[in-house]
Amino acid sequence: MHESFGSIVAQVAEVSVEEKGRIRVHRVTCAVDCGLAVNPLAVEAQVQGSVAFGLGPALKSALTIKEGRVQESNFHDYEVLRLDEMPEVAVHVVPSGAKMGGVGEPATAPIAPAVANAVFALTGKRLRSLPLRLA
């Protein structure tokens, strides 16, 4: 669960572990309280995009610093989530009388902890650094 920009987002991830300890996220369920949702479909799209954006560093990408410089220069050595890796994302907009909040960023922060908690439930192993790795 995460709160920012006047919105509250909770997430649960469903995962499996594939060959070589690779974590695969199959489904993410999100509850979003952003106050009055003028356009619920836009809220859903923003949350889905935030999940995709957050899964890249959660599962794949890391920045390496050497002699004070970032070593990764572009998408060939800083991987982002690919389309075939995107899980199903179910978004539930919570009816709320709260003041309107933002939905562009709040769903990014809780995805890594949601995946880490799902991996713990599946394997009993706590992963505490990004990207999340079992092997």
Q: Looking at residue 96, which CATH number applies to its domain?
A: 3.30.365.10
Q: CB of 55 within 8 A of CB of 27?
A: no
Q: Which domain holds residue 16?
A: 2-55+86-123
Q: Would you say residue 47 lies in a domain? A: yes
Q: What is the pLDDT of residue 125?
A: 96
Q: Which residues contact 126 (CB under 8 A, 6 or more apart)?
A: 116, 120
Q: Would you say residue 91 lies in a domain? A: yes
Q: Would you say residue 62 lies in a domain? A: no
Q: Would you say residue 71 lies in a domain? A: no
Look-up of token digits 């509850």 = 31
Weakly modelled stretches of the chain, pLDDT under 50: none
Q: How many domains does one find in the chain?
A: 1
The structure's pTM equals 0.91
Q: Which residues contact 13 (CB under 8 A, 6 or more apart)?
A: 25, 27, 28, 87, 111, 114, 115, 117, 118
| Pair of tokens at residue 39 | 């356009």
